[in-house]
Amino acid sequence: MVVSSVRPDAASNRKSLTILGSTGSVGKNTIDLIKRSQSNYQVEALTANSNVIALARQAIELKAKIAVVADPSKYQELKMALSGTKIEPAAGEQALIEAASRPTDWVMGAIVGAAGLAPTLQAVRRGATVALANKECLVSAGEIFTREVERHGATLLPVDSEHSAIFQVFEFDQADRVTKIILTASGGPFRQMDKSSMLSVTPSQAIAHPNWDMGAKISVDSATMMNKGLELIEAYHLFPIAEPQIEVLVHPQSVIHSMVEYVDGSVLAQMGTPDMRTPISFAMEWPNRMQTPSPRLSLADIGTLTFELPDCERFPALRLAREALITGRSAPTVLNAVNEVAVQKFIDGKIGFLDIATTIEEALNKIPPHSISSLEDVIEIDAESRAWAIQQS
Ligand code: NAD
Ligand code: MG
């Protein structure tokens, strides 16, 4: 178990925080919550990949101390956008890691993809409280990441709505009384589509998620159901539970965000409307709860909640993720890296929707699993897998 079950005393002062990936969907939702009670928070660092204008606007509005853009060629542009303010501009991968090193009470890890691994791990290594949205970190480097959390006494709080749900109903002091975790999945935009029709779906169809408004990559992952596969691996690393005890259940209304079943037959669920501000707020003020503007749940209006088993024939990504978890070693690193490249190729119109899972399956068959003992091993296998995936037609 890496998520903390120890409830600290409520912090009384202004909370200092850093947002890694502040310009994305999770980043913006986090900022929305901060702005609603800005006097409670002191923003240290905000980071983005390349959107300098959005980053500078956020930094000025929140009076951040430093704004970091990952793309080094954007440094001058950022400097210009921040001129006349006291906000320090910085650029490049190393600057991102330095931003994560700055002492703060709380860090939001909301970068998308394995690109978030080094800075998020840096926050872990200074023993920070890290709210983790960036699930690819745990998929790509699960054992290394959780080992570092324990070694440095960091606190890891899940932000993914399913994992936040589990965290809220998981009785850590009776972990051996848990029989299974049930991860719910919306099924994505192609839940009812036959496989032959999936051959010709477009990126904009795949990105249009029925229930959640999210970044492009996770939206495509939801359409292939790789998102649930990544979440299966994420859950395995976050909670004291074995792989066969983690089940996936399709629940198109996205009202029940996940469930935990106990030996006595009780099943505890966390529910709410699909609004990321609820799980973000839970990680922001844990162990307390804060007011959010998330729409309230009206079960009477919804009327019916439905459930079905996932179809791994139409959505092979889910099966591939489970297989990678069972294989272990570098298989999840390969799965994640090849998925990131294949999703980008699909978004760029270079491959079809079904090619995403086919490419991953081929990679898992062709690239033999290696043991992983350090972050450097992860980085090397991640790079090799990306290079392999880029070369595929
Ligand atoms: P997004 O694409 O909207 O935003 C990603 C952020 O990461 C942006 O700030 C971007 O500038 C930054 N970024 C991208 N590439 C980078 C790089 N190479 N180096 C540094 N920064 C980089 O993504 P999102 O939807 O906010 O998702 C962020 C993470 O949270 C993902 O891991 C996703 O799976 C997870 N998550 C998102 C949601 C959601 O509702 N959006 C829900 C659950 C989990
Ligand atoms: Mg999720």
pLDDT tens column, 156-200: 999 999 999 999 999 999 999 999 999 999 999 999 999 999 999
Identify the nearest ligand to the CA of 347 by its number.
1
CATH code for the domain defined by 328-393: 1.10.1740.10
> Does the structure show a pLDDT above 70 at 24?
yes
| Beta carbons within 8 Å of 32's beta carbon, 6+ residues apart | 277, 293
Could you tell me if the CB of 49 is within 6 A of ligand 1? yes
Q: Edge-to-edge strands of the sheet including 15-20?
A: 88-91, 66-69, 41-48, 15-20, 106-109, 129-132, 155-158
- Is the confidence at residue 12, as pLDDT, over 60? no
* Confidence grade of residue 212 (pLDDT, cut at 50, 70, 90): confident
Under the banding of pLDDT at 50, 70 and 90, the label for residue 4 is low
**Tokens matching residue 389:** 């995936």
Average pLDDT over residues 266-286: 98
Tokens matching residue 100? 């994560």
pLDDT attached to residue 211: 87
Over residues 220-273, the pLDDT tens digits come to 999 999 999 999 999 999 999 999 999 999 999 999 999 999 999 999 999 999
Architecture of the domain spanning 15-159:
3-Layer(aba) Sandwich (3.40)
Which residues make up the CATH 1.10.1740.10 domain(s) of the chain? 328-393
**pLDDT of 313-332, one tens digit each?**
999 999 999 999 999 999 99
Whether 282 has a pLDDT exceeding 60, the answer reads: yes
The predicted model gives 78-93 an average pLDDT of 98
Q: 7 falls in which pLDDT band (50, 70, 90)? A: very low
Query: What is the identity of the amino acid at 113?
Result: G
Is residue 81 within 8 A of residue 56, CB to CB? The reply is yes
pLDDT of residue 210: 86
Residue 16 has pLDDT above 50, yes or no: yes
Give SS3 for 114: helix
**Which residues on adjacent β-strands are paired with residue 258?**
270
C-beta 219 within 6 A of ligand 1: no
CA distances from 298 to 26, 168, 237, 289 (A): 24, 20, 33, 20
* Cα 197 → chain centroid: 29
**Sequence-distant (≥ 6) Cβ neighbours of residue 359 within 8 angstroms:** 338, 341, 342, 351, 389, 392
pLDDT of residue 10: 46
Q: Which atom of ligand 1 is nearest to the CA of 214?
A: 41
Cβ 212 under 6 angstroms from ligand 1 = yes
* Average pLDDT of the residues of the chain: 96
The alpha carbon of 215 and the centre of ligand 1 are apart by a number of angstroms equal to: 6
Residue bearing the CA closest to ligand 1, atom 41: 214
Mean pLDDT for 342-359 is 98
pLDDT at 18: 98
Question: Above 90 in pLDDT, residue 52?
Answer: yes
Q: What is the CA radius of gyration of the chain?
A: 20
Q: Kindly state the greatest CA–CA separation across the chain.
A: 63
- Counting ligand 1 atoms within 8 A of each CB, the residue from 22, 25, 166 with the most, and so the one to mutate, is 25
Contacts of 161 (CB under 8 A, 6+ apart): 257, 258, 274, 276, 278, 279
Q: Name the pLDDT band for 8 (thresholds 50, 70, 90).
A: very low
Atom number of ligand 1 nearest to Cα 216: 2
Whose tokens are 């009776």? That residue is 174
**Is the pLDDT at 361 greater than 70, yes or no?**
yes
Q: 3 falls in which pLDDT band (50, 70, 90)?
A: low
Which ligand 1 atom is nearest residue 51's CA? 11
pLDDT at 213: 87
- Residue to mutate (ligand 1; options 145, 214, 232, 294; most atoms within 8 A of CB): 214
Q: Whose CA is nearest to atom 13 of ligand 1?
A: 49
Instruction: List the shell of residues around ion ligand 2, using CB closer than 5 Å.
Output: 160-162
Length of the chain, in residues: 393
* Beta bridge pairs of residue 248: 183
CATH 3.40.50.720: which residues of the chain?
15-159
Confidence of residue 19 (pLDDT cuts 50, 70, 90): very high
Nearest CA to ligand 1 atom 15: 49
Is 23's C-beta closer than 6 angstroms to any atom of ligand 1? yes
What does the alpha-carbon distance between residue 28 and residue 178 come to, in Å, rounded to a whole number?
Answer: 35
pLDDT in tens, 157-168: 999 999 999 999
Closest of 63, 66, 31 to residue 46, by C-alpha:
66
